[in-house]
Structure 1
Amino acid sequence: MFIRSKGVLALGLLFFLSAGCSSTDSFDRVSTMFTSSFSDPEQSVSIQSSNIEYAFTQKDQHPEKLLIQVIDDAQDTLDISIYSLTERNITNSIINAHQRGVKVRVITDRSQSEGEAQAKRIHQLLDEGIKVKENTHSGLMHHKTTIADRSVATTGSFNYSAAATKYNDEVLVVIHDNVIAEYWSDVFQEMWLDQERFAAISL
């Protein structure tokens, strides 16, 4: 089950649920709350009445299916920055997007890529000609984000792993908003071009 609703997003504090609001609460009230909390446009972006979908693993809402739908709907570009990528169906969906002509780029975390399960998925992507980069800096590349066609962005705690789809307490949030998706695309592009902090993975 996917839940689609009208919501408000403030970057860095995405989950209106954390404010004690259910999906049936007044989103105008939630919007007012977040808008009044963030007044500096350089520090945050507040969007009223954005289309938001979310899915919780432990509510049997299958975030992996919601993510795969976003990937399958991509027509032109697919930028993925993901800490952990080990789930087979998600990997296959990324490969399918590439095979139908979508420009796919992936950034992941070096420490995760050293694990056997993720190394296998990364090699699948590389075998298909998909470009993959990993961080070379000392911190983690901890994003869990997919941006499709510069118009849809996903985030949340959800890693692209079997554990996240079955066992963990996870949430995936999908934001249908051009302003947000374009900004996140720009951030991804900066990461992709940063040769000091990221490097290509090769076979």
Structure 2
Amino acid sequence: MRLDELESWLTESLEDFKLSHAETLALREILPQLKADETSFIRNKAFALAREPIKQGGDVAIAVLGWLDKIMKTMDTARNAQVVIVNSAHFSPGDDCRRKLLDLCVSARQSLDISVFTISDDRLCDAICSAHQHGVAVRILTDNDKSLDLGSDVEHMAAQGIPVRMDNTEHHMHHKFAIIDRHMLVNGSFNWTRSASDKNHENILVTNEPALVAAYQMEFESLWENFSA
């Protein structure tokens, strides 16, 4: 919303000297979409609009103070509910990347969407299967060429009942990312293989930044629809 639209919304809300339930819900929906300066504008403008009516005293002042109090409490609640961004970087060779991936698989409670070129590390396979057995909705996107490699765990996971879809074209599904519970993303150069941990120079980045998680979730859903089961 533009600043003039925000000001108009506040002005109309103040006309009856109360913040209705519908207006409270509308404000809750608006706030997460605003930039920091727009949020500050609402706070400052609310105080500015309330200043003159409060000077009248009496019932009007009490009502306007109640309106202002509700505005501030709604804003504080929305601010406290905002996601705390968590980022971490991990590197191999060594066990750092694999250990983080294992932790993420174990942490999954609702869904685990994996889009990885090749999966052949039995420890990661076991963690994925365990999540599936505990009721987590696991989906795997991978490449048909790598699924036939010696040591690939893809057929084993499919046999456990985990939905698997592959890129069967002449090209490759070369992604290496996963989304945990639709709010945590892991992405990087790291294939889910033993050699990636033990020998290769690889990396993963883990983040819950909403825009990034949403972008990768959209990519996953698009590929899931396009690839055959």
Same fold (TM over 0.5): yes
Determine the structure 2 residue equivalent to 1:159.
191
Q: Which runs of 5+ in 1 are unaligned?
A: 1-48
Q: Does the aligned pair in 1 maintain the 2:184–2:213 contact within 8 Å?
A: yes
Amino acid at match of 2:117: Y
Amino acid at match of 2:136: V
Give the CA RMSD over aligned residues. Answer: 1.4
Q: Verify: 1:83 aligned to 2:113, yes or no.
A: no
Q: Does the aligned pair in 2 maintain the 1:98–1:130 contact within 8 Å?
A: yes
Amino acid at match of 2:133: Q
Amino acid at match of 2:173: M
Per the normalisation by structure 2, the TM-score is 0.61
Which of the numbers 146, 166, 191 marks the counterpart of 1:112? Answer: 146
Determine the structure 2 residue equivalent to 1:127.
159
Amino acid at match of 1:57: S
Over 3 Å off, 4+ runs: none
- Displacement of 1:170: 0.7
Percent identity (aligned): 27
Q: Verify: 1:189 aligned to 2:221, yes or no.
A: yes
Write the distance in 1 (CA, Å) between the matches of 2:131 and 2:95. Answer: 23
* Larger strand fraction of residues: 1
Amino acid at match of 1:168: N
Determine the structure 1 residue equivalent to 2:128.
94
Q: Verify: 1:57 aligned to 2:89, yes or no.
A: no
Amino acid at match of 1:174: V
Q: Does the aligned pair in 1 maintain the 2:95–2:198 contact within 8 Å?
A: no
Determine the structure 1 residue equivalent to 2:107.
73
Considering only CA atoms, is the larger Rg found in Structure 1 or Structure 2? 2
Residue by residue over 1:89-127, the C-alpha shift from the partner in whole angstroms, topping out at 9 and shown as x without a partner, is 000000011011110000101110121211xx1122112
- Displacement of 1:186: 1.5
Write the distance in 1 (CA, Å) between the matches of 2:191 and 2:168. Answer: 20
Q: Verify: 1:145 aligned to 2:191, yes or no.
A: no
* Larger helix fraction of residues: 2
